Amino acid sequence: MGLGKFIGYLVSLSAMLVALWLTLSGYFDKPLLLSLGAVSVGITVLLVLRMRILDDEASPYHRLFGLVGFWGWLLVEIIKSSLIVSKNILRPEMLLTPRMVRVKTLPASTYGRVLFANSITLTPGTVSVDLDDDEIIVHSLLKEMTNKDDFAEMARRCARAVGEKESIS
Amino acid sequence: MIDIMPYLEILRYVLAGALLFGGAVFMIIGAVGMLRLPDFYARIHAAGITDTLATVMLIAGMMLHSGFTQTTAKLALVAIFLFLTSPTATHAVANAAHKAGLKPRLGKVQPPHPRDKMKGAK
Amino acid sequence: MGLDVSFDIFIVIDLIIMSMLLVVGIALVRLNNLFAVVMLYGVYSLLAAIWFVSLDAVDVAFTEAAVGAGISTVLMLGAMLLTSREAKPTPALRRWLSLGVVGVTGMALFYATFDMPNFGDANSPANSYVGLQYMYDTITEVGVPNVVTAILASYRAFDTFGEVVVVLTAGLGVMLILGIGTTRTRDGESPQSGDETTQSAPPVTTVLATENHHIVLQVVAKILIPIIVLYALYVQFHGDYGPGGGFQAGVIFASAVILYSLIFGMDETRRAIPAKVVQFGTALGVLIFGGLGLVTIAMGGKFLDYDVLTAADPILGQHVGILIIEVGVLVTVASVMLSIYYGFAGRYRELKDQDW
């Protein structure tokens, strides 16, 4: 990791922590609390450095705008599939067609893959069971939820949300 | 000229109440699914409804109710936190079951009709 | 007096939560699988926390959620891994005997409730005399909006000092029995204690490389840990204004470190936060707390009388005093939680998937 990137992560993490402190605290006019906030951010960054977890994945805050758009799209998907699953749960003659599928179309970066796996889990009806080097194993409640193109669409959007050009297939 | 602000205010509370009610309904649907669905992997999906749609609706309702205040900002933080953690926890549980060798029921599964279940209980 | 028949939704909520507590309690007694018992303990604590919120005791609820549902679940899981997953069945005679003891105690407690004042009674001892005085005088004498913090950290600071010493004693007990795992080095040299540990754990980097289906957990943990640590410090420093303070913050801080340890391994955690530091911290917090008491005596006041800290402004002195002792509480609580965790987690080698 280059020094420039490292400083970039440091700055974006610190900025996020400052914003988080101000949101939680809500006291902008008390110098004591503000300086304690600065101390707290310092302690947190120090601990993160000692834990050696400061990298691209720990500090994804420069991608916030891409993620917000993605979350909007995801919310619509969640509502759609929630309604399908709810309808099935409430139907007296429930008919399930559970299956395990392997999804091979993944975003290239680790971060994109984790976002993809979690997005699959967030949509009711599909749960990512395992994330390996080249595939995600997905358990799905209904057959019609394992459409290959839908997964590919989600993978593409995840990759774009984290700033990748193309998803690998 | 009619002042529409009071009407908007009423609308805000009506919307908030509707969202809270909807969230509660989906919570109950998730609970029903938890009881009706046949195996571990299927039940995860029922929990998914309470984790996602129900929670989103409840938090959105509370945000509308509290208006433009610090509480709303904190609720937004709670929502982001839940969006990060709940799928991760679900994934961890499903992954642990998968690694431990729990086999899901696949193919066609038809859980018993509630009416038949009642008869069986008698 | 007489029965209050007016409909109060909070009574209904309380009754629902209490019956859930009862059901979980019965399930806890009847289960033999310790894993399920530990999980139900967490559920029980969470329900208790919700109930405390409904009783307007948010500070207590916060502690219950952080300690009962949060960290003690992990500690009990750690203890369970050292022993067995199943409880031995209890002999029938002993079961009936314990039921009898519980029944008699329960009836005695139930009988005692007849002498208790009504809930929210303005004339009850808790709501009159000294309690009332605290409510009136906090703003002028201590100057913090959260009366709970004023009582805990200023009026009754000596009691709180006692509590911190109790926490330290608990930590010392665990350290004396289990050790803190300082003997094991990063190269995987086995400690003297325990026969299982002779098989040395591989360095943590290789563990992560071979088990990369934990990617999701790793990435989310990396994002969450800084947020949890900052949240703990927010809770620490806003105890004057809202629910929170050193106890809750210490536990939340420790849970961030435990999360790191669960995902990145014990060796890596010992490297980031050495056991020696944790050991030192357990005593340091008590030293800060007690030391401030001695300072106030030296400055001409009574033990933990913060008014004398700043000559001109007693209210500022109270602020400074509360800030310092809360830091002491934070350091001791966080360190003791971590030392207990280190004690448990240092006893077994890194778990692999095939161990489950």
Tens digits of residue pLDDT in C64-89: 999 888 899 988 888 887 777 888 87
Same domain for A88 and A36, yes or no, is no
Task: Say if the Cβ atoms of C212 and A132 lie within 8 Å.
Answer: yes
What is the domain count for chain C? 1
A56 belongs to a structural domain: no
Report the amino acid identity of residue C293: G
Residues in chain B closer than 8 A to A97 (CB atoms):
107-109
Q: Which of C215, C219, C230 sits opposite A44 (nearest CB)?
A: C230
Three-state DSSP class for C283? helix
Preferred mutation among C212, C214, C217 to probe B, highest tally of B CBs within 10 A: C217
Task: Say if the Cβ atoms of B107 and A98 lie within 8 Å.
Answer: yes
Residues in chain C closer than 8 A to A44 (CB atoms):
226, 229-230, 233
B120 belongs to a structural domain: no
**pLDDT score for C257:** 94
Structural domain of B96 = 5-101
Query: Cα dihedral sign for C43, C46, C52, C53?
Result: negative
Which chain B residue's Cα is nearest to A77?
A: B53
B110 belongs to a structural domain: no
Measured CA to CA, the distance from residue A53 to residue C28 in angstroms comes to 39
C292 belongs to a structural domain: yes
Backbone angles phi, psi at C24, to 5 degrees: -65, -40
A166 belongs to a structural domain: no
Q: Which of B92, B99, B100 sits opposite C217 (nearest CB)?
A: B92
Better-scored residue on pLDDT, C119 or A79: A79
**pLDDT score for A1:** 63
B68 belongs to a structural domain: yes
**pLDDT score for C328:** 94
Cβ count within 10 A of residue C254? 27
Q: Is residue C5 very low, low, confident or very high in pLDDT (cuts 50, 70, 90)?
A: low
Residue C352: pLDDT above 80? no
Same domain for A101 and A157, yes or no, is yes
C104 belongs to a structural domain: no
C290 belongs to a structural domain: yes
Residues in chain C closer than 8 A to B85 (CB atoms):
220, 224
Q: Considering only CA atoms, which of A91, A94, A113, A88 is closest in space to residue A103?
A: A113
Task: Say if the Cβ atoms of A82 and B53 lie within 8 Å.
Answer: yes
C196 belongs to a structural domain: yes
Same domain for A25 and A105, yes or no, is no
Does C277 reach chain A within 8 Å, measured CB to CB? no
C276 belongs to a structural domain: yes
Task: Say if the Cβ atoms of B33 and A79 lie within 8 Å.
Answer: no
* Mean pLDDT (whole number) for C202-211: 40
Residue B30: pLDDT above 50? yes
B51 belongs to a structural domain: yes
**pLDDT score for C202:** 41
B66 belongs to a structural domain: yes
Which chain A residue's Cα is nearest to B30?
A: A86
Q: Which of B81, B88, B100 sits opposite C217 (nearest CB)?
A: B88
DSSP C189-235: PPPSS-SGGGSPPPPHHHHHHH-GGGHHHHHHHHHHHHHHHHHHHHH
Q: Is residue C126 very low, low, confident or very high in pLDDT (cuts 50, 70, 90)?
A: confident
**pLDDT score for C348:** 64
Same domain for A44 and A75, yes or no, is no
Does C226 reach chain A within 8 Å, measured CB to CB? yes
Better-scored residue on pLDDT, A72 or C127: A72
pLDDT tens track for C311-340: 778 888 888 889 899 999 999 999 999 999
Q: Could you give the angle at the alpha carbon of C80 between the alpha carbons of C77 and C82, nearest 5°?
A: 120
pLDDT tens track for C25-49: 999 988 888 889 999 999 999 999 9
Measured CA to CA, the distance from residue A11 to residue A26 in angstroms comes to 22
Q: Closest approach of chain B CAs to the CA of C138, in angstroms?
A: 26
Cβ count within 10 A of residue B7? 10
What is the domain count for chain B? 1
Q: Closest approach of chain B CAs to the CA of A63, in angstroms?
A: 15
In the structure encoding, which two tokens stand for residue A88, read together? 């099935």
* Mean pLDDT (whole number) for C147-151: 85
A110 belongs to a structural domain: yes
**pLDDT score for C181:** 63
B–C: how many Cβ contacts below 8 A?
A: 20
**pLDDT score for B119:** 60
* Mean pLDDT (whole number) for C294-304: 87
Task: Say if the Cβ atoms of B29 and A89 lie within 8 Å.
Answer: yes
Residues contacting residue C125 through CB under 8 Å, at least 6 positions apart: C117, C131
A71 belongs to a structural domain: yes
Task: Say if the Cβ atoms of C226 and A44 lie within 8 Å.
Answer: yes
Which chain C residue's Cα is nearest to A129?
A: C213
Same domain for A47 and A67, yes or no, is no
B107 belongs to a structural domain: no
Residue C263: pLDDT above 70? yes
Residue C350: pLDDT above 90? no
Same domain for A96 and A28, yes or no, is no
In the structure encoding, which two tokens stand for residue A92, read together? 């007296």
CB A116 within 8 A of CB A107: yes
C31 belongs to a structural domain: no
Structural domain of A128 = 61-161
* Mean pLDDT (whole number) for C198-208: 39
Q: Closest approach of chain B CAs to the CA of A25, in angstroms?
A: 9
Structural domain of C272 = 145-356
A–B: how many Cβ contacts below 8 A?
A: 123
DSSP B40-80: HHHHHHHHHHIIIIIHHHHHHHHHHHH-SSHHHHHHHHHHH
C188 belongs to a structural domain: yes
Interface residues of chain B, partner chain C, Cβ below 8 Å: 81, 84-85, 88, 91-92, 95-96, 99-100
**pLDDT score for C7:** 66
In the structure encoding, which two tokens stand for residue C112, read together? 């005692």
Which chain B residue's Cα is nearest to C228?
A: B81
**pLDDT score for A142:** 87
* Mean pLDDT (whole number) for B92-100: 88
Q: Could you give the angle at the alpha carbon of B86 between the alpha carbons of B81 and B90, nearest 5°?
A: 160
Q: Spell out the long-range contacts of C312-319 with Cβ–Cβ below 8 A and sequence spacing 24 or more.
A: C314/C141, C315/C142, C315/C143, C318/C141, C318/C142, C318/C143, C318/C144, C318/C154, C319/A32, C319/C143, C319/C144, C319/C240
Which chain A residue's Cα is nearest to B56?
A: A75
Measured CA to CA, the distance from residue A88 to residue A95 in angstroms comes to 7
Q: Mean pLDDT lowest for which of B63-67, B118-122, C182-186, C218-222? A: C182-186
pLDDT tens track for C226-249: 999 999 999 999 888 888 888 999
Measured CA to CA, the distance from residue C225 to residue C83 in angstroms comes to 30
C242 belongs to a structural domain: yes
A167 belongs to a structural domain: no
B108 belongs to a structural domain: no
Same domain for A29 and A7, yes or no, is yes
**pLDDT score for C203:** 39
Which chain B residue's Cα is nearest to A91?
A: B113
Residues in chain C closer than 8 A to B84 (CB atoms):
220, 223-224
Does C111 reach chain B within 8 Å, measured CB to CB? no
Q: Considering only CA atoms, which of B10, B13, B55, B12 is closest in space to residue B30?
A: B55
Residues in chain A with pLDDT values less than 70: 1, 58, 165-169
What is the domain count for chain A? 2
